[in-house]
Amino acid sequence: MFPSERHWTLILAGGLLVVAVLALGPAFRPTAHTPTVTRVALPPPAQVQAAAPEYPTTASVRPLISGRVDLNSASLEQLEALPKVGPALAARIVAGRPYRSLADLDRVKGIGASTLAALTPLVTF
């Protein structure tokens, strides 16, 4: 059964409507709600060097760390005494030797921004 002339008229009109909507669609979209992105340069972080803690020693007690810990010569036990450093991270620190800067230490897996900030006043190279 063939479509009648009326059906052809509706099909043609529907097709033209689709073409018109696709062609004119972007003109009807509102642009007032389009978000804009503004980039602002942040100031560099302040470089504050806090003093490393000095722990008292007695004849029978000697702390594992006192002052700054040299990452290139510290033992595993001394590294584990640092905040946020456990046995696995201490082993990765030893495996990553030698260190010349905080950037070298930052490359060690498991050292993030907060750990690096906690270790900065406590370590030396």
Q: Is 65 left (phi over 0), alpha (psi -120 to 50) or beta?
A: beta
Over pLDDT 70: what percentage of the chain? 58
Q: Can you give the pLDDT at residue 96? A: 93
Asked if residue 50 has pLDDT above 90, the reply is no
93, 116 in Cβ contact below 8 A? no
51-92 residue pLDDT tens = 667 776 667 766 666 678 899 998 898 888 888 999 999 999
Tokens 């201490």 locate to 90
CATH class of 69-124: mainly alpha
Q: How many CB atoms lie within 10 A of CB 111?
A: 20
For residues 105 and 27, which has the higher predicted lDDT (pLDDT)? 105
